[in-house]
Amino acid sequence: MRVVQVGKFYPPEYLGGLETVVVNLTTELVRRGIGVTAVVSAVRGRGGADTYGAVRVVRARSYGTVLSQPITPALPRLVRESPGDLVHLHHPNPLGDLAVLRDRRPLVITQHSDVVRQRALAPFYGPIVRRALERARFVAVGSEQLLRTSRELRGFEAKVRVIPFGIDSSRFAATPAVLEREGALRAAWGCRPTVLAVGRLVGYKGFDVLLRAMATLDATVVIVGTGPEEPRLRALAAANTRFAGRVSEEDLIAHYHAADVVCLPSVTIAEAFGIVLLEAMACGKPLVTTALPTGVSAVNRDGETGLVVPPGDAGALREALSTLLEDPARREAMGEAARDVQTREYGAALMGARYAKLYEEALG
């Protein structure tokens, strides 16, 4: 079997939550003997073909980005020209929808999230999305919560399958190199209790709420990531804040291990799942998240793997963080529970097996 994966971007040019899922999936599919070609947009400028791991990656030339959508007119042609028995499209990706509408092979779509921030444009892109969903044999979602709340999937429930996203937890092991870097980070942070947040610095992530919550806590908050909100966040930050910027994968793993609590304070349903939560869980860290009607609430189980607070409530967030920072035994118990849940329910091997079975059904 050979599958053409159609996404927005692919590492090493760009690595967001959606891209992390695609990389984890394609890596696992290749391990299972399934051929994979990923067709994506170049982040900027000329495209071309290369190899990332064992995956052939074809990048369409980019002429810029408008409203988070790369302008890559060659994408439909590159999808058609890529050999494969089946096409797997990752939503949201309006240009990808156009590409698969011109392709007659069996289609599977993963709905990572609805389009949220550009919803005003729904009259324009909505019909294209619906046509792609109509053509798909199956639509996969990462959580029951997304299926219940998605506007775009209304009317398509019969073809939806829930396949939770997963990661390879072995990548997050506390190796000697990771432990050495962890110690250096703790020293740099002043050996104080530390809250870690990871993600693009954009409005829906709620990092401004986190900074307000942390302003009076005797602890350090470390934010890993870059984005357009950085100047505003730096202006809000108290002296206990560290902005780490973009870090390597190896350094990110050390950041997880060095932290006491990992927080995802997102404030809108644009946060459809939160892959960083799985990564933190693989490192045995307790979570503090917000009560969003998305996969975030499926991953973090209030009182078991962490604590959950109302979105946008800095006071409640401060109280939850303070509760865990002041109780090492509870942190350790929740961290171990989080690791167990991730290993049992959110592994890359399990995700890959479920998608391989779905592909077989789509081809049958």
Above pLDDT 70, what percent of the chain? Answer: 98
* Contact in structure between 343 and 70 (CB atoms under 8 Å): no
Looking at the DSSP bridge assignments, the partners of residue 87 are: 4, 107
Alpha-carbon dihedral sign for residues 190, 289, 68, 22: positive
pLDDT of residue 252: 98
Class of domain 169-345: alpha beta
How confident is residue 122, by pLDDT bands cut at 50, 70 and 90?
low
Residue ranges of the chain assigned to CATH 3.40.50.2000: 2-166+347-363, 169-345
* 140-186 confidence digits (pLDDT tens): 999 999 999 999 999 999 999 999 999 999 999 999 999 999 999 99
* Contact in structure between 238 and 172 (CB atoms under 8 Å): no
How confident is residue 63, by pLDDT bands cut at 50, 70 and 90?
confident
Strand, helix or coil at 245?
strand
* Contact in structure between 260 and 194 (CB atoms under 8 Å): yes
Taking the C-alpha atoms of residue 234 and residue 241, their distance in angstroms, rounded to an integer, is: 9
Taking the C-alpha atoms of residue 323 and residue 163, their distance in angstroms, rounded to an integer, is: 33
E strand residue ranges, 194-325: 194-198, 220-224, 241-245, 261-264, 287-290, 306-309
pLDDT of residue 355: 99
Question: Does residue 187 register a pLDDT over 90?
Answer: yes
Task: Note the Cα 216 to chain centre separation in Å.
Answer: 30
How confident is residue 126, by pLDDT bands cut at 50, 70 and 90?
confident
* Sequence-distant (≥ 6) Cβ neighbours of residue 174 within 8 angstroms: 182, 257, 283
Lowest mean pLDDT among 8-17, 19-28, 276-285: 8-17
* Sequence-distant (≥ 6) Cβ neighbours of residue 253 within 8 angstroms: 171, 172, 178, 279, 283
Lowest mean pLDDT among 22-26, 43-47, 159-163, 203-207: 43-47
Class of domain 2-166+347-363: alpha beta
How confident is residue 12, by pLDDT bands cut at 50, 70 and 90?
confident
Question: Does residue 205 register a pLDDT over 70?
Answer: yes
The tokens for 144 are 């029951």
pLDDT of residue 115: 82
Q: Quick one: CA torsion of 299, 226, 231, 244, rounded to 10 degrees?
A: 90
* 64-119 confidence digits (pLDDT tens): 877 677 889 999 999 999 999 999 999 999 889 999 998 999 999 999 999 876 55
How confident is residue 121, by pLDDT bands cut at 50, 70 and 90?
low
Taking the C-alpha atoms of residue 31 and residue 110, their distance in angstroms, rounded to an integer, is: 20
